[in-house]
């Protein structure tokens, strides 16, 4: 039995650990740090799950951002009574994490400006994605317009929290 790990195995373990950590952080921030809005059919939900999602995407990249968002918020939907939303959340929030991470990785320029652009791109994905998800679930083109302000508030608040912090966090992050 070989008790030593190769550098490649160590990297895989670190990546798996980071993915699991950010899935858990996204889930917990969505589950326990939220406000249910008394609007529309099921109401809306403002939560801080986007904070660890953006941190994951900006520090560890598009793959970790996509995994944290898709699985963390998808799991929340599955166990919290929002089950019908889980497949939509998995795709939409996974795409948000992927796109935010991709922009943060590839776009040149000042990190604060690039990360702000990444948050705006993720916001567009969220608004468009959940608008069409609600059209499918509610069978109505007007009702989904009511959830746009809550979606905007949710992502903007996360951006305000994450963009100033992520530079400091990235300098201290465990590399995978």
Domains of the chain by start residue, with CATH? 14-174 (1.10.1760.20)
Contact 112, 163 (CB under 8 A): yes
**Residue-by-residue pLDDT tens, the chain, 176 positions:** 455 656 677 789 999 999 999 999 999 999 998 887 766 545 567 899 999 999 999 999 999 999 999 999 999 999 998 899 999 999 999 999 999 999 999 999 999 999 999 999 999 999 999 999 999 999 999 999 988 998 999 999 999 999 999 989 988 877 77
Contact 37, 150 (CB under 8 A): yes
d(CA 100, CA 17): 21
Structure-block tokens of residue 105: 């990785």
Structure-block tokens of residue 9: 């195995």
pLDDT at 105: 96
The count of residues in the chain is 176
Contact 51, 27 (CB under 8 A): no
Structure-block tokens of residue 87: 């497949």
Task: Provide the 3-class DSSP secondary structure of residue 10.
Answer: helix
Neighbours of 165 (CB within 10 A): 13
């Amino acid at each position: 039995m070989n008790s030593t790990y190769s550098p490649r195995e160590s990297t895989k373990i670190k990546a798996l650990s980071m993915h699991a950590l950010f899935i858990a952080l996204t889930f917990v921030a969505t589950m326990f740090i939220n406000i249910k809005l008394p609007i529309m059919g099921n109401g809306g939900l403002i939560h801080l799950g986007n904070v660890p999602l953006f941190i994951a995407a900006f520090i560890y990249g598009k793959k970790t951002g996509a995994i944290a968002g898709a699985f963390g918020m998808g799991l929340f939907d599955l166990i919290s009574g929002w089950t019908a939303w889980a497949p939509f959340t998995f795709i939409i929030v996974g795409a948000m994490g992927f796109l935010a991470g991709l922009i943060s990785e590839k776009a040149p320029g000042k990190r604060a400006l690039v990360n702000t652009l990444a948050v705006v791109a993720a916001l567009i994905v969220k608004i468009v994605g959940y608008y069409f998800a609600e059209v499918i679930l509610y069978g109505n083109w007007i009702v989904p317009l009511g959830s746009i302000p809550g979606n905007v508030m949710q992502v903007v608040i996360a951006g305000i929290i994450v963009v100033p912090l992520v530079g400091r966090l990235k300098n201290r992050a465990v590399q995978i």
